């Protein structure tokens, strides 16, 4: 959260499963659209928060399979664990605060007396979260008496029902809403309350997010009955909350537009940048646009033509170099030749590219240093490179950038055995 000097222009607080991530869409279409929008227009001055029921380990497993961006804050295990930055530094103060009137052994002991409660796997059990499965028809029968029994034993707990099957028992002070309120208080102390906050969710454990004052909210089209019901009973007349007609991450994009929170046309929705003037050019947008081109090129969604070859040659400074992640230095001419050879090599395959953690700094009147993580997911294998690009803009046409220098280093053991198919 310290990444920004001032208040975030927009803070998005989103659930993961079936909000950010559409488990039915193996191509990750709407998630990739969101990613491109975020990195091109928001990463520099906004905050991304993931708020999930998953434990940190289960989040890591999802991260390996799906093109998830790096959030500024990860709120895990239904608002019981808060972690900051890429290295996921735990907020120990938060966990201390949750110890109040909480004892997980007592929760387990009392819950075991209800045969309808089936404990979830060990990995789902966390210091401040005890989780079960329970049939919808039995849920209410169990929740009320169990809450009373735990109160009698001196605890103050919260029971949250999600996906018509999962029951989480948490300390009263925990939950996705309480965790967000805590984050907002922290930001307030630093004078950095976001200009706008948008919360996004689909199921019961997300309901609390929508009760935080002043936030905008989107319940994605595929929201669960329990969330829609909560909304009907508690927030029906709040104009800041919508039930989007769009599914998962597409619903988030739609809500950004609906509430006029900033640009909401993803660069991925633009097929031809020559024909379609974009909302604003910037070094960040340039990088996102190039990698989109690169993905479409390798998937043969763009035709190989003499014009394209010339465009590529114009884009790269003739004397510039690319330091390949293997350490080998290549001339841009060599790279353009390689790119021409690799046209369509990923056609028909599950292949996508996205950039993450994009930041740029103007280092001269016409020069920018842009740094980001560039990821490729190819038939289930994920590889990434820390990438630095030196861009220069033309005085007469400031929206045209020349790529002067490009340097990559493998990220987190991404190095493949065969490095020859890695281009930029």
State the residues that interact with Mg ion by CB under 5 A. Answer: 15, 17-18, 202-203
Q: How far is the CB of 168 from Mg ion (least distance, A)?
A: 13
Q: How far is the CB of 124 from ligand GLC (least distance, A)?
A: 4
> Is 169 or 250 the residue whose CB approaches ligand GLC more closely?
169
Binding mask 203-222 vs ligand GLC (x if CB under 6 A, - otherwise)? --x-----------------
- Alpha-carbon distance 97 to 94, whole Å? 5
Return phi, psi of residue 371, to 5°.
-125, 140
Who contacts 117 (Cβ-Cβ below 8 Å, separation ≥6)?
111, 132, 133, 134, 142, 167
Are 71 and 291 a contacting pair, CB within 8 Å? no
- Alpha-carbon distance 9 to 7, whole Å? 6
> What are the residues facing 403 on neighbouring strands?
316, 391
- Alpha-carbon distance 286 to 290, whole Å? 6
Window 141 to 180, contacts with ligand GLC (CB under 6 A): 162, 166, 168
> Is 17 or 376 the residue whose CB approaches ligand GLC more closely?
17
Who contacts 142 (Cβ-Cβ below 8 Å, separation ≥6)?
114, 116, 117, 134, 167
Window 58 to 87, contacts with ligand GLC (CB under 6 A): 58, 78
Q: Should residue 54 be labelled a site residue for ligand GLC when binding is judged by CB under 6 A?
A: yes
Measured over the CA atoms of residue 104, residue 106, residue 112 and residue 117, the dihedral's sign is: negative
Q: How far is the CB of 162 from ligand GLC (least distance, A)?
A: 4
Q: Should residue 15 be labelled a site residue for ligand GLC when binding is judged by CB under 6 A?
A: no
Q: How far is the CB of 333 from Mg ion (least distance, A)?
A: 48
User: Of ligand GLC, Mg ion, none, which one does residue 285 interact with (CB within 5 to 8 Å by kind)?
Assistant: none
Who contacts 276 (Cβ-Cβ below 8 Å, separation ≥6)?
270
Among 8, 21, 124, 200, binds ligand GLC (CB under 6 A): 124
Binding mask 175-204 vs ligand GLC (x if CB under 6 A, - otherwise)? ------------------------------
Question: Applying CB under 6 A, which residues contact ligand GLC?
Answer: 53-54, 58, 78, 120, 124, 131, 162, 166, 168, 205
């Amino acid at each position: 959260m310290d990444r920004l000097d001032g208040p975030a222009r927009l803070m998005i607080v989103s659930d993961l499963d079936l909000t950010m991530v559409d488990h039915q869409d193996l191509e990750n279409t709407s998630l990739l659209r969101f990613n491109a929008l975020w990195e091109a227009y928001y990463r520099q001055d906004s905050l991304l928060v993931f708020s999930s029921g998953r434990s940190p380990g289960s989040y890591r497993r999802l991260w390996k399979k799906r093109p998830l961006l790096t959030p500024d804050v990860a709120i895990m295990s239904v608002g019981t664990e808060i972690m900051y930055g890429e290295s996921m530094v735990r907020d120990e103060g938060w966990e201390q605060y949750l110890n109040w009137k909480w004892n997980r052994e007592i929760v387990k002991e009392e819950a075991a007396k209800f045969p309808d409660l089936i404990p979830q796997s060990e990995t789902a059990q966390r210091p401040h979260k005890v989780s079960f499965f329970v049939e919808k028809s039995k849920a209410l029968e169990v929740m009320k008496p169990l809450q009373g029994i735990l109160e009698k034993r001196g605890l103050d707990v919260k029971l949250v029902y999600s996906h018509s099957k999962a029951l989480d028992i948490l300390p009263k002070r925990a939950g996705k809403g309480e965790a967000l309120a805590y984050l907002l208080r922290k930001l307030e102390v630093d004078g950095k309350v976001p200009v706008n906050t948008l919360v996004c969710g689909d199921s019961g454990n997300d309901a609390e997010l929508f009760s935080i004052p002043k936030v905008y909210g989107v319940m994605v089209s595929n929201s669960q009955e329990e969330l829609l019901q909560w909304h009907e009973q508690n927030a029906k007349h709040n104009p800041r909350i919508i039930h989007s007609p769009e599914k998962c991450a597409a619903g988030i994009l739609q809500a950004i537009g609906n509430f006029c929170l900033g640009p909401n046309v993803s660069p991925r929705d633009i097929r031809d940048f020559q024909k379609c003037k974009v909302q604003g050019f910037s070094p960040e947008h340039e990088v996102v646009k190039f990698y989109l081109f690169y993905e479409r090129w390798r998937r043969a969604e763009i035709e190989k033509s003499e014009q394209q070859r010339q465009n590529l040659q114009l884009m790269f400074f003739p004397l510039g170099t690319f330091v390949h992640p293997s350490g080998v230095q290549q001339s841009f001419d060599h790279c353009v030749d390689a790119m021409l050879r690799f046209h369509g090599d990923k056609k028909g395959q599950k292949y996508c590219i996205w950039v993450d953690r994009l930041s740029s700094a103007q280092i001269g009147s016409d020069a920018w240093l842009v740094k980001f993580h560039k990821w490729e997911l190819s038939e289930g294998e994920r590889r990434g490179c820390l990438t630095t690009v030196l861009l220069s803009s033309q005085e007469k046409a400031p929206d045209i950038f020349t790529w002067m220098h490009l340097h990559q280093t493998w990220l987190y053991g991404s190095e493949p055995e065969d490095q020859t198919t890695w281009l930029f």
